[in-house]
Amino acid sequence: MRNVKPLWSRYGLPAGVALGALDMWCQTLFRKTPFGTLSHDKPDWASLKPLEEVMPITYPTPDHVLTFDRLSSVFLSGTTHAENQPCHLKLADPTVPLRRNLPLYGEPARLYCPAGVYEITKSPDGSDSFTINSQNCVHCKTCDIKDPEQNITWTPPEGGGGPIYAGM
């Protein structure tokens, strides 16, 4: 599967998918492919589009039968962290979220983080503030990979805390 998305990005949907199918059949039948191993032309964080190039997505309200809000799902993951440990999500420059990411991208961390760790809240004086609820982190490392300024570094939390996923 590894060549499918690079082929899709290079040649568009119809040709990319057709070439992806050819690539996978060659891998299956001959254990080799004429494409070799293709790479993406840019890192994931560099592919984020600024606000003016995108339309906001409005998701339906969770019905708690088939769809659930993020914090309910974090609860089901069994995530726990010692409350008094230092934040394991490090910002190289703490001003980047509000100074650059909020006006340019709408602060994407609050959207892509599956655990609702990052929040933009209003202070009593009306100014924005950036909050990190590190105790909710499920350790997917998306923020480390996707932050457009590469400003966030995920580090292992103290004490082996994190999700347990007892039902999986």
Which spans of this chain sit near ligand SF4 (rule: CB under 6 A)? 89, 113-115, 117, 137-143, 154
Nearer to ligand SF4, 102 or 152 (CB): 152
- State how far the Cα of 81 lies from the Cα of 74, in Å rounded to an integer: 12
Q: Characterize the bridge pairing of strands 128-132 and 118-122.
A: antiparallel
**Residue 167 CB, nearest approach to ligand SF4 (Å):** 19
Contact 89, 132 (CB under 8 A): yes
**Dihedral sign from CA coordinates of 50, 52, 54, 59:** positive
**Residue 87 CB, nearest approach to ligand SF4 (Å):** 10
**Residue 115 CB, nearest approach to ligand SF4 (Å):** 4
Nearer to ligand SF4, 142 or 151 (CB): 142
Q: How many CB atoms lie within 10 A of CB 119?
A: 14
Nearer to ligand SF4, 12 or 156 (CB): 156
